[in-house]
Structures are given as structure tokens and as C-alpha cells.
Structure 1
């Protein structure tokens, strides 16, 4: 698929950025210099923006995540895109699992002993946005360039929205959210490739 092929280069760059950030902030218990610069700008919000941040944050909580996954899977099935439906579940699940593993490896903390890098909420919403963008790319039959732009734009908007919400609510440093965004950009393309390989190599496909 055009959108998926374009994600290869993006995933490679995201993996490199994730590695650099993970090594840079391993074991840290305080915000980095760049976090100190950014946080005052993001956290100075007033209603209704505070409510908006909480609403976005809800999408990454267990209840919100289940509801959003069910809704997106339903859309994929209605459009007769079973692979996309599988990618919704597998991609988001593996993305969140990867953030949990990386948190324990990096060991960066916030608000006491809460592991923070990378942001699971940011990674999750970015993963869903990636699947939606890939689905739209396939439906619209976009080329490699147009598909890549759409996929990256969707991931960036979703990542920025959830990243902002995480900083506003005090759950993460800004650099944590960048790490979450990068995690989704690495895991989802890899998961999509694996699903395609398994589906294409299935016995019934070779008959």
C-alpha cells in the first residue's frame, strides 16, 4: 500500500530519534532544559481548554481506549477492511506494550516514582491516527507521496493534541510525548508489514 510503503523511511527516523531521546533522558527525575522552556507555554490554559485537555486525555484511559478501538474496528469492518481492523487492535496494543517496556528500561520519572518516558497516551492516539490515515490512503488510492503526507500529518496532529493534554494535566514532560509519538511511528508500520506478510502467505491465499 502507498501509505504503508512511505512509512518505512519515517519509521527509521523515528526509531533513531527514540533511541537518542531514551539514552539522553535515562534515569532522569527532572524536566530537561527544553521541557522547562516549553512547559510554561503549554500549561497556562483556562477553561474551556482545561476541559478539552481532560477530554483528550480520556481517550488514552482504559475506558476511552476500549470505546475508541471498538468504534474504529467497527468502521473498518463496515468498509470491509479486515486487515485494518486487525491493525487497529494489534497496532495500538503493541504500541502501548512497547511504551511500557521502554518506560522500565529508560527509568525516567515524574511526579515521584511514576515512569514517564515515553508517553503511552501519546503513542496510543498516534497509533490510532496512523491506522485511520492508512485506511483513508487506501480508500482514496493516494500515491506514495500524497499518502505519506496524509499519514504523517494525521500522526502529527494526533500526537500534538495528546501531547499537549499530557503536559497540561501534568502527566508527562514534553519530551516524553515526543518519545510516545516516535514509538507509534515505529511500531505501527512494523505491525502493518507483519500483518500483510502473514495474510499474503496464508494457505488460502496460495490456492
Structure 2
């Protein structure tokens, strides 16, 4: 479902579908006004938004992968490694080939194409992997807290990218959908592989 949504959104964005452009411009104009009136918040978000940058994402992925391997949780380690590689690679390819300008005169300057949002896809992917890794080991209350934290992280980073005018809202939506596509597919592929090996 997420894959269909991502592909549909990509087609609409690249086709310059007028309703999407109107939504993007309207929301971004409102956020521009809000950011202009709240410069201190903008200054804080310029720093905070980088928790979703590529370097922290990859570094955290490597650390968690190694830790899982040392504890002999191989399937979980493979999932973490796969997502750590796939998300930046796919995002990088799409930024190279999908020519979509970012909002003009943003509160941060980024010299690259905008769709989908890399920070958002990194944060959402990390959040999803955390839920998948921790879910089997937690009781109901712990699971609720982890899910709430994961959603908060993904929404926060996506929100910062919009408020800083680093991305259009649909770029952020694309980042969420990319994560919702890649992480479950990677998890299913690894589960199927484990089951097939178990039957041998």
C-alpha cells in the first residue's frame, strides 16, 4: 500500500499536478510567515533537524548493527544493515534523477533536488526499525511508548524540514512513504529468507 502511494505521489509530483502544487505553496507560504515571526525557533530547528541527516543515520545504523551481531541477533542485524544502506542509496538516486526544486528562499540552504525528503525518510526508517526490533521484547505499555516515540520522531523531523522551507510538504510525505515502503519490505524479505533456510 505504501509503495503504491509512493509511486502515485512521485508521478503526481513529477507531473506538476496543479492541486498538489497549490497545497505545497499554500502550506509553505503559511510556514514562511510563521518562521519569519519566530526566528528563535527557526534557529533551534536548524540544529535539531540534523538528527535526521545522513551521517547520524548511517552512524547509528552501523553501531546498532554491530551491537546486534555481537549479541548474535543476526536477522535483526541484517534488517538494520539493509535499511541503513537502502534508504540513503535510494534517496540519493531519486535526488539525482528526479528534478524537483526546493522552496525558494528557505530558512536553510540546500543545493540539491527536493523529492523525497532525505531527513524525513531517515528519521521515519530509524523509527520503524526501532519499533520492529523492540516490539517482541516489550509489554503492551512499552510497545505503546515505543510507537508513540517513533511517530513523534518521524513527525518532528518532517515538520522541521517543512518549517525550515527545506522541503515542500509533498517532499516530506514522500520521505514518510519511502520509509513505509522500504522497511516493511526488507523485514518481510529477511523473514521469508529465514523461513526458507529453516525448512532446508
Range class of TM-score, shorter chain: 0.7 to 0.9
User: Which deviates the most, 61-70 or 186-195?
Assistant: 61-70
Per the TM alignment, residue 22 of structure 1 is displaced from its structure 2 partner at its CA by: 0.8
Give the RMSD, CA atoms, in angstroms.
3.2
After superposition, residues 156-175 of structure 1 pair within 5 angstroms as 156-175=151-170
Higher relative contact order (CA 8 A, sep 6+): 1
1:33 aligns with 2:22: yes
1:77-115 C-alpha deviation (Å, 9 max, x unpaired): 576533222212211321222223333454222268731
**TM-score, normalised on structure 2?**
0.75
User: Mind listing any 5+ residue stretches in structure 1 that lack a counterpart?
Assistant: 1-11
- Structure 2's unaligned 5+ residue stretches are 105-110
Q: CA deviation at 1:68?
A: 2.4
Q: Residue 183 of structure 2 corresponds to which residue in structure 1?
A: 188
Task: Pick one of 42, 58, 64 that aligns with 1:50.
Answer: 42
User: Which residue matches 2:108?
Assistant: none
Question: How far 1:155 sits from its partner (Å)?
Answer: 5.1
Instruction: State the 1:150 CA deviation.
Output: 7.7
What is the aligned length?
188
Partners of 1:96 and 1:124 within 8 A in 2: yes
| Residues 82 and 54 (structure 1), Cα distance of their counterparts in 2 relative to 1, 3 Å cut | farther
Q: TM-score, normalised by structure 1?
A: 0.73
Structure 1 residues 1-207: aligned runs within 5 Å = 12=1, 14-26=2-14, 28=16, 32-43=21-32, 44-45=34-35, 46=38, 48-73=40-65, 76=68, 81-110=73-102, 114-140=112-138, 156-202=151-197, 205=198
- Tell me: CA distance 1:40–1:57, structure 2 relative to 1, closer, same or farther (3 Å): same
1:74 CA displacement = 5.6
Closer, same or farther: CA 48–187 of 1 in aligned 2, 3 Å: same
